[in-house]
Amino acid sequence: MSRLLVSVVDSAEARLAHSQGADFIDAKDPEAGALGALPLETIRAICACLPADAVTSAVAGDDEDIGQLADSALAIAATGVSFIKLGLGRATACPPAVAELGRLLGGRGRFIAVLFADEDPPLSLTASLHEAGFAGVMLDTRQKKGIRLPDLLTADQIASFVAGCHRLGLMCGLAGSLRVEDVEPLAALGPDYLGFRGGLCLAGDRRGQLDPLAIGRAASRLQAIRHGEQAA
């Protein structure tokens, strides 16, 4: 059953997203690229403003220097956030880099790898990520210029990726300039969560303010799908 992840920039947005039905609150700086990391104190404030049982995540960036990326992820892990997302670009989306990251992170079960669909990553990398101790994998897009995940991969390709993650016991997320109307077709493919920022912002501007009505619509659509699955 798919859940809703909403990326936020501060505690005010975190409270707003949570109040409108977001299941995951994701701390991210949209001004700093696809996976821009927020300051540690901002991440701590986001975690502190939410109920104790809220599920949170924060991005650690996508540095090509494996050591720096691991250091950033470990520092963010100390803020109290539930999960930490690490972007793997062209230089790091390969088994040797994943193995080294796993060694540096210590297989702590809270790290999620992000693969950029617009960089043609090897989707078979899930096996290496599982071996390295990652908790999950997410498909996203690096370029935020209106090209959506469904524009880059077919439904069959995405479904195969999701199924492969689940066979390995990995949490699976889908994101990448998604819009509210993407909820039903992507949720039907079985990911654990769908990630949004720009598609839930006023005027679709990921650097702008979140739109509470859009968050509510996305949350309601996912809730309706979950209720239908439970009834079936």
- Backbone torsion region of residue 80, taken as left when φ is above 0, otherwise alpha when ψ lies between -120 and 50, otherwise beta: left
- 28 catalytic? Reply is yes
Catalytic residue, chosen from 3, 18, 28, 221, is 28
State the number of CA atoms in the 13 A half-sphere of 78 facing the CB. Answer: 9
Catalytic residue, chosen from 3, 44, 85, 142, is 85
Would you call 227 helix, strand, or coil by DSSP? helix
Start-end of H helices in the chain: 11-19, 40-49, 66-77, 95-105, 126-131, 149-152, 155-167, 183-187, 212-231
Closest CA to 182 of 164, 191, 36, 23: 191
Catalytic residues: 28, 85
